[in-house]
Structure 1
């Protein structure tokens, strides 16, 4: 059993070596402790002996100090001798270069000491130390008497003295010189030297030796302790192993035997007993719970695989089938016994391409399922959705694959029907606009030249309104067939809208395209439907956009063809127009959507630019200074653009009411910031046809007037005669309401539209602005002179003042003054400039010299 072998290996390879290492370390620790204790003992003895010798030297010097007076009194010279008895002290006196012994023991003799001293002149007043006399250590102290004599006391450091210093059996002492050789230290001997205070030139050293029997005794006491630890540790390890064998290895072996007897294929596995302790019971319960969950999971998986509608097949790594559910048997028309150990290629594909795909997918090691459509020649041809996934084992190795087959034959048929409905128009059976735009890039990818044609029916609304939508659908079907009859298979035809068609022609010259389109126009015009005895026909307008020898952008060409179609409708019925990028009017139409977006952004960011153009009073009156507010937009590179482009775009996309609101707000705000000018100027603001009578416009003007507190007398609103006639009823109501608010009104561009003096009589206006087409040639054209004079005479009779536009020379001003026109406006009077540069000094109009800050976004002009 692996766990038992691992425990034995753990005990033999780790526990026992660890125990030996610990024992060895304990022995080292004891030895280190013994050595430290010996050192401490030696240091203690050194300190004690040094202290004792220092005390003896001090005592010797004190004796000399005490006995010096006694020696000087000759009458009591022998009285001090009994005091030295028993101290083994010799007393000498030095006088006149001679040394005499007064009293003392046998060592040192007078000649021995005198010879050692050699020159007693070195003796100072008093001192003490150790001196070697004939290689024998002598403790010596001396003191100089007043009469010049030197009293010397000596004490021999013999064996008796050293024995008294030892006191215990711990150390052994012996005197020696500093240059004596120290014996080699052994495990049982420890040596130490002590330098003694010496006299003369030869130092004196005392050697201390630890008694060998004491060292051996200390070492011997540590050995039993170490020897006792090792068997105790081995005993503990053995008891631990027996406990592990009884409480862990045997129950675990029993549990492993029970696990080996469990059959994984049974639905209800045998339960483990868990004998051997609470831990094994918990482990057995958890294993039993895990086995039960695995069995339940397998049972759920089996029931799921047999219940799902898809066919499921499991193969081994050689693509042989090892499992298939009942739905797979039903779908493939095989039974389980026939399918097992066979491959899909062997059953359905003689070339075994299916087996190759499965093996290739397994070799790739893909983690994500691979979905692919496949067809099998069963009893009935079926289209299947195949999901292929790799099957991994516990080591993440691929051991097979899982194939899920779903019958999508009906779904594919329904998809084809839905796709046809999504791509084709139900009325004409042509491509619709979405399918047309999707196929267009691929259709033109390899074309050397391309012509996109936009066809719009005329009088079609008449058929829908009079005959109903069924008749309209009938006419659309006839038109579609007529157009398709003139096209080849390589041409692309689609219905783009209600009564709009698109045709794309590849690799044809402009002449061929034009000839073909004329035939189409003729064939469409021949189509007729009958309703209640009336014959109905339709016309068709065609716009063409060509591209040749340059990268083809089909979407842009389609826009150009649409614009060309609009131009063709303006020319009349059944007309063909070719788009020309050099045509300024068509270019404006083409850029209208971009301009509409830029205008919208400028309105939201409040970044429109206001300009003004002065209007001169030709009668010399001292009335208010008049000026007309114009709108500009800032283009790329800071260039101020003319109003023709963006005004047309704003009118086409119904943005003019919002533009007019922003102009009114900005103009009123400027007047509020220059309130002193309100009594000196009259500001003319244009209202577009879409704004005239628009919901909320009148209340907006009133709200802005109240917000900025602008007097009505300094505001004049201008409307064109065409807009007034087109919205006659609503325009009349709004103009009357504005007159009640106190604003003055002007009729702009009078004479260029369809207005008559009858309408002029009804409109409540204060000024009529004569269109510039009659003013430009006024000085040289008698007819224009007559028309301007006629308009002025009628207006004067009706109490309306006149304003001439596009005045560009002094000769025109002279003619206008001759006629009696009240005001003149044009370049000769003043060019448009930013409103922020306006001021009105006491003597005429003046322009502020400081430059206008450039706006940071798009602005518009009118």
Structure 2
């Protein structure tokens, strides 16, 4: 957007001049450049212009003097022709005079020139008539003369043959004297020239007046109007009242001027909007010409460069500032020069550019330099748009730090730690020194959490992070991997030295005392050690090996160091769990789990209620199933239980809802008990998942019962209490499974709002013969009755046991005596047989 705005401003004047016809001439104005005020300036002329010495005066002058010269030329040609005709006319005049005289002589026989005879009057008349100075007729007897002959005059001779009446004839010779006509011709020429010049002048003046009226005056009026428009009078318009060509041109130019005014107004408004935009945006915008010299800077750019536009205009941007790399401090290529040379956009793309102005201020920037082109496509300049990203870059640094650091302890987090380990694996594969990896898991950390709360646990983790960091070398990498687990990466460290460092870490943690209020806690740590040597497969394998070694340390008694060895039986078992984790993930993806059910039967004859406990099986073959005891520890260890629990909940809700909709048997409407793992208790999104699944399937809340074991409940007492309360508020029931297996069962019982108490089978299997077991069961039943909680006895194998439980007052029983776990379809077809108590059903 910034490039378009500045490009429009830089072409403002050019576009305006192209939009107006050349016929407007001097009446047009240029739009000011970006660095000038927005008001347009009038066109300036190279020399002063006068309407009295211009083209109209020259045209009329040329016409006037042309007429005069043409008249004189015509007179001269005429006089020359007249003089020539005059010379040629003398012999003709003499011949005509001779003919006239001959006719007179032939009519008068007595007329003949003699020595004493007087010339006839006709001869004088002829002389005067033809303008001869003297005329002589010479005959045999004499001559006649009239006028005064002059030797200087030209003479012309003509022979006359006069016939007499008697048939004779007489030959006479006529001699004419012609005077010189040069003076006469000169005088006549003067008169003619004066007359002709006067006529030509008068005609020229008349023609000039006509030309002035028809040509000069409208032309001068147009020039005056154009000068007024050029001087700033935007209302000046040409006269369109004339019906000649001037009227047509005036109308055409007026339209062009109106269009120019409209274009100027629109472009001025556009320029004002663009300038407001450039002044308003937070990016620095710098426009240069084709030579890279600054032509425009918005206020943000002026602050960035630390120069005003007046001081920066005409100077290359490279003189005002420079670009350097924030990391290497090396100079970067000038984006303006790159843009103009390549005629394409130049990007500041490294993400570490610094803009250094002449004051030495370093501003992190990002931006582009884009070429500006004219209508022909030629590059006429460059627009640089720079964004001050100091806050964004600082935020990025903080986010990067936060992304690589644990928010609680400030140590590296798991993601950053794994990135470091990957680089180390690449180093050892390249032949560099060996390294070592630790996996640390705190011992007795849960005691602090359960006793003093999570705030105390968080503070313990922070303090332990400092303790561990002080016990390591300066270049060792310490990270919190999650919960109470830590990771350590030792660079350039042999396995023997790594064991010593691990023991030092263990001793430091063991010697640490955590004080919270009036309580003092001693913490231990189990450390798994693995060597990072050439040939390590990948990150997952390395971390798994360290995790297995840590698990072996815990299994060996906690608070100790265990070095990973491939031949270790404990590690082999741990690898077996890892193998199961892979298989369980694949089984979930391939939907190879199935749900079985086992009946829970009311012992009182008059109690019609019946329950079903959902049990999970893994399908290994067509008729082969794997019990959960085989893979449950692996699922818990590798965090698969929340996913498995959700699969069971969704499948149970959907299956029992579909069965209830298409079957009328009672068992399709019984209560269904679903086991929840400890990991699901800590899953804050579980409640929402149960809500959504119930809404999709329509499973009644009253038919749902969730079971959690006593051990899980005690370990997650706070979370268990919250979960039980929320689900019971929805209408679900809750059962506490394996009750009595814990050390403080009754102490926790009163804090859990449950509906059913399932007595651990270890108290039931020998209740017929063991008085202690019976007393324990009776005590549990008595407490449950006082709390209003129903009791369920597990592991009921025979009728005698069922009878003892009935006598004690136990409400429900579950075991092989009443039915083995089986597929849902199997029990849905035979559920009515469960009413035949106390005998076992025929299934």
Q: What TM-score, normalized to structure 2? A: 0.47
Q: What TM-score, normalized to structure 1? A: 0.46
